[in-house]
Amino acid sequence: MWLPDALPLASNLEAARSQMAFTLGFHIVLASLGVAFPAMMLVANYRGLRHDDADALLLARRWSKVVAVTFAVGAVTGTVLSFEFGLLWPAFTGRFGEVFGVLFAIEGIFFFLEAIFVAIYIFGWRRLAPWTHFWAGVPIVITGLGGAFSVVAVNSWMNQPQGFSPTSGDVTKVQPLKVIFNPAVPYEVPHMILAAYLVTGFLVASVYAVGMLRGRRDRYHRLGLLIPLTIAAIATPIQFAVGDTAARAIAKDQPVKFAGMECVQQTATHVTEYIYGRCTSSGVKGGIGIPGFDSFLVGFSTDTQVTGLDSVPPDDRPPDNTMLHWAFDTMVGICTALIALGLWLGFAWWRRRDIPQTPWFLRVTAVSGVAAVVALEAGWIVTEVGRQPWIVNDVMRTEDAVTKADGIWVTFGLVVALYVALGVTLVATLRAMSRRWRAADESETEVPYGPPDAVPAGVSAGGAP
């Protein structure tokens, strides 16, 4: 008689995890734009003011409108996520809400401050003095970083929980500072913030690369490509170093997750590093093996012992090992390729103070935006699937936290419909803005802070958003 009782719970768990994965995967792209795009907008704004650059000022003004649109849509998707925590995982929020609730409260403060300064910056064009307007945009960057810290710190705490007692039953004592600055924060927060700058930089640059491939080779487009691509190219090798540090920390503090990421079945030294391949109980089938390299990556020596999945019972191991392993390899591989793109840009700039002239550079840049998004999603698969079967690592299982209410598949379908509508609306709005800007009507091409009829010569043919 246990089977009929077990099936609804299993169905609820699958539905809840699917819904959470979908909404997180959608929202994280908008969250990344919200964190990093304002900084690129301010770089253009600064260049425009410092060098009397009309094209840079026009970029900053147009980008500020894109920031406003993506911020509004991100606010909707983020609100849905906040409700999902309570609706899908009531045992989790009921037991640990007072532990991580302080971080969500801090995030809410940052969110409202960001909304206020986005409004001030948008409406400040032509209403504030130039440098006053510029400085009014700086809090947008700061609050975006603060919000990212708060949210990622919650996820870090779920990976390495501390600052509460007892570890079983109701929580009666919370130490907020230990919760906020848990051991995973030093690498998870920088990793996510750098990922946001990578995704935004390559995604924005890819838009202008496509425009240039279509023949729009004016200075406006070149500057629109160069600013975000330069920022992303600088951030990428830093991200690689942070990711390497994070992987070693996970091998030490969450060894089972690391074993799942690398398909390490048995605890051993001289462990082979496999690039892709299919994970099985008897080892990796296929893929490219590098003998001893996995041990070397963990402890800078092939003699380093790597904990395997055999260290815990089967029920305590991450599911979908092949997917987890492929997600990790995909994230690392794309990051490596993006470093190469940044070096290509840096070498050309060092030699000619210009972007590479070959069309292949623009083609690769055009693809880099999608590639960066794929790497971002792969990274979250590693973080979330790798922690399973725990919602709070080694403290609460995901199956114990899920709601027992019926209808989760129905709400999942409704959320998918809502997010598809939001996605279509966002893309349609941005495309409409782009077409209007390419049409170069007077109201959109006037130079911020300048006379109403001033039009930059370099954008007479219009430009991309």
Q: Above 90 in pLDDT, residue 204?
A: yes
Rounded mean pLDDT, 271-281? 86
Mean pLDDT, residues 364-369: 93
Helix (H, G, I), strand (E, B) or coil at 280: strand
pLDDT attached to residue 241: 92
Q: Are 344 and 175 in contact (CB under 8 A)?
A: no
Looking at residue 38, its pLDDT comes to: 94
* pLDDT value for 237: 93
286 secondary structure, DSSP code: S
Give yes or no for residue 1 having a pLDDT over 50.
Answer: no
Confidence grade of residue 447 (pLDDT, cut at 50, 70, 90):
low
Instruction: Name residue 238's amino acid.
Output: I
Q: Residue 283: what pLDDT?
A: 81
Task: State yes or no: pLDDT of 121 exceeds 70.
Answer: yes
Choice among 163-172, 298-307, 426-435 with the minimum mean pLDDT: 163-172
**Model pTM score:** 0.88
The pLDDT assigned to 41 comes to 94
Better-predicted residue by pLDDT, 106 or 407 = 106
- Cβ-contact 282, 266 below 8 angstroms: no
Question: Per-residue pLDDT tens for 131-143?
Answer: 999 999 999 999 9
Confirm if 268 and 306 have CB atoms less than 8 A apart: yes
Confidence label for 3 from pLDDT (cuts 50, 70 and 90): very low
At 175-197, the pLDDT tens digits run 889 989 999 999 999 999 999 99
Arithmetic mean of pLDDT over the chain? 86
8 Å CB contact between 299 and 309: no
The values of phi and psi at residue 283, to 5°, are 120, -175
Q: Which whole number is the average pLDDT over 328-350?
A: 92
- Find tokens 């550079």 and name the residue: 361
- Given this model, what pLDDT does residue 360 score? 92
Range 3-11 average pLDDT: 50
Q: Which pLDDT belongs to residue 449?
A: 62
* CA atoms of 114 and 100, how far apart (whole Å): 21
Q: Which residues pair with 396 in a beta bridge?
A: 392
Residue with the two structure tokens 């049409």: 439
pLDDT band at 428 (very low <50, low <70, confident <90, very high): confident
- Tell me what the mean pLDDT of segment 12-35 comes to: 89
Residue 273's SS3 state is strand
Contacts of 238 (CB under 8 A, 6+ apart): 194
- The pLDDT > 90 percentage for the chain reads 35
Instruction: Output the pLDDT for position 4.
Output: 44
Question: What does the pLDDT read at residue 192?
Answer: 93
For the ranges 194-203, 255-264, 305-314, 389-398, the one whose mean pLDDT is highest: 194-203
Whether the per-residue pLDDT at 452 is higher than 60: the answer is no
Torsion of CA 43, 48, 53, 59, to 10 degrees: 60
Q: Would you state the structure tokens that stand for residue 104, as one six-digit string?
A: 């969500």
Lowest mean pLDDT among 93-97, 152-156, 280-284, 446-450: 446-450
pLDDT at 356: 85
Band of the pLDDT at 211, cuts 50, 70, 90? confident
Q: How confident is the model at residue 451 (pLDDT cuts 50, 70, 90)?
A: very low
Query: What's the chain's Rg over C-alpha atoms?
Result: 24
Q: How many CB atoms lie within 10 A of CB 369?
A: 22
Residue 200's pLDDT is: 95
Question: Which bin fits 449, alpha (ψ -120 to 50), beta or left (φ > 0)?
Answer: left
Amino acid at 457: A
